[in-house]
Every structure is written in structure tokens, then in C-alpha cells.
Amino acid sequence: MNRLTSRDILARLIAFPTVSRDSNLALIAFIRDYLATYGVESELFYNEEKTKASLFATIGPEDQGGIILSGHTDVVPVDGQQWTVPAFALTEQDGKLYGRGTADMKGFIACVLAAVPDLVQSSLRWPVHLAFSYDEEVGCLGVRPMLANLAQRDLAFKMCLIGEPTQLKPVLGHKGKLAMRCQVKGAACHSAYAPYGVNAIEYAAQLIGKLGEIAAERAQPQYHDSRFDPPFSTIQTGLIQGGRALNIVPEECEFDFEVRALPDFDAKTVAHTLQTYAEQELLPKMRAVQADTHIVLEELSAYPGLVTAKDSEVAALIASLCESEEFGTVAFGTEGGLFHQAGIPTVVCGPGSMDQGHKPDEFVSIEQLARCDQMLQRLIIYLTNPKTT
């Protein structure tokens, strides 16, 4: 087949509406067929329902660790957003390529796939591994089965490059995340007799207030890390629902909160502190009125933070590939923390900006795609240079 450019491939990828709630198998089949035309075999790691899959493929020596190029195939929804161009068709205007996922992060995947012919034709001293996952946007779920499988292989990977949009600046760190749901069951009664009921909303409000106290504590200067913005771990409540009518003491209330944690802070200590507060301070009062009341905390999702040393080998390598030592961090999370946790040195660097991610009229510039193509060509030179070690 005629060689496809990164723009050509991006147009194909955007046409697959791989919103996290839907299947990504059609896109994965396209990538798998594309790789097969160049003689590259791939393996799939499915979810339990077999409706989604992550893909892993190796180009070059299969008995060595080499470099992992990683990206997620899912995108966030467009529901309720006012797009001026089709969300799932590539539109070019004024040097920009519009469509859901162009920046986050099919642009990077397109550049990686466009480099496959050159990778196949090169005499690679170390292999390049392609790792494309599902369900990153809902908690970095799809990469985990793949990482569990890689952990069983006797390979020492040199680096994982996560191609999230950073405007091709080298990123060495991001915060971790813990998402939790709290369910409060009180006891209903007529509001005229409110003291004889257990108001679930009011007890939920006390729990949210406690989260505010914990957040204020973590914001103290002694817990700051100036590499991050904000420079401290944050806690926020994002959803709440409860109650049936104003004249009924609410029996139930539920709220979701999240912790965005610096890499050296265990976000689960927040949940443990809240659970202790509930058991020691709130539940005795609630059960003094009604014995079967309860407060339940449920983990929705979690992923670790990432921090890679500036003086590490992988930091020097990514600096040479993207021709920048402007090391930084990002506020959003990536799968990088999971790769790092698995013992694989990890950096983040990709085309586009997260300023456009998750928004209507998402785009990546043609210039950013071209620069990413060039970065991958420098990677090929590095992998074929006999002087590299």
C-alpha cells in the first residue's frame, strides 16, 4: 500500500468514535491490519467483556527491552459540547487539524504508526514496542492487563515514552489520582419531626467539610513541591445528590470526591482519615437515632503519580529526542505512573496541548505533528547508532 503520512493516519483514527463508554475494537483492527502490512505482528489484551482491547507490538529484536511508545486509544465524550466542525472527521483550518482526540492523543499514535515503515527497514540495536491501550480516560484501566503480562517477561525496558500532549516539551512528572464515592444512609421522617430522623445530606455535608479541612492542611507550605502547579496535593468534591422532597428528612446522600496527589503523598490516607472520622465522630450520633444507618466509602479509580529524576538516563534521552531540556510537570494524569510503578523508566512528551484536550473543536497543529515525526526519526537514529549504549 502507499505509505501514509501522520496526517493521513490521524484522519483514519479520528473517524473511529472511541469514546470510553464504547468499543475501540474497530480502531484496534485498523492498527493491527496496518502493522501486518509491514510484517509486524501484534497481540491483544481484552477487557472481560471482550468489547475493548489494548495492543502490544514489537519492531526489532524481541529478546530485548528497548523503548516503549505508549498511547491510549479512547477519547472523552462530545455530548453537550458545541462543535463548529465534525467531531469525528478530520478538518483542516489555518494550519490546525480539528477532531476529537487530535491532541489527546491520537496525534501521537498517528506519528508512531507513520514511522513504522522506517522502523521496519532500520537495523535496530534495540526494539521499539508499541503499546496502545483502552479506558485511560476513566482511570487508566486498559493498560493494567498489558503491564501485568509484560511483568512476566524477562525484559529490561530502557524507557517508556507516553505521548500525551505536552507541546513536545519533556515532562518528568505528574500527580497521582484517587477517585472515591461516599454513600450516606440516614433515616427518613417527616421534616416536622426532623430530630427523630437522620439527615443524610447534613452528615454528608460534615464529611465534605472534613475533606476541606484535610485539603487545607495539605496546602500548607511544608507540603509544597514547586515542580507542580498547584504545588500541593488537592482534594475536591465534584458530584453530590440526595433527598426526595423538602418536607422529608433525606434518607440517602451520595457524593464523589477526588484527590490529586503529589508523587510522594499516598492519596489513600485521605480516604482512611475520612473513614476514621465517620466511624468515630458521625456514626455513633447517627446510630443513636437509628441503628441501621451507615457511611460507606468506595474507590472508583486510582493511578499513581510520576516523578523521574532530571539527571537520569531517560531524561537525557528524551531531551535529545525533542531537543529541549525544558523539563516540566503536568497537572493531568497519565498511564506513566503505572509504567514507572512497574519498574520502567518513564517520561511524557507528545504533540499538541492539553489546553485543547476535552474541549469542543479540539485540535493539533500541523507543525506539532511534523515536529513529532522528526522526534521519532531522531529516535530511529539513536536506536541504530552503534555508538549508543
- CA dist 168 and 113 (Å) reads 17
C-alpha cell at 45: 489484551
Residue 62 annotated as catalytic: no
- CA dist 360 and 159 (Å) reads 33
Which letter, b or e, does each residue of 197-210 get, where b requires 16 or more Cβ atoms within 10 Å of its Cβ? bbbbbebbbebbeb
Give me the amino acid identity at 185. K
Catalytic residue among 104, 135, 136, 362: 136
Give me the amino acid identity at 324. S
CA distances 380 to 60, 104, 122, 123, 153, Å, are 11, 24, 8, 9, 24
Residue 221: is it exposed, middle or buried by C-beta count within 10 angstroms (0-12/13-18/19+)? Answer: exposed
8 A C-beta contact, residue 134 and residue 141: yes
- CA dist 217 and 233 (Å) reads 10
Residue 191: is it exposed, middle or buried by C-beta count within 10 angstroms (0-12/13-18/19+)? Answer: middle
DSSP 375: H
- CA dist 388 and 351 (Å) reads 26
DSSP 132: E
Residue 74 annotated as catalytic: yes
DSSP 349: -
- CA dist 44 and 181 (Å) reads 32
Which positions are annotated as active-site residues?
74, 136
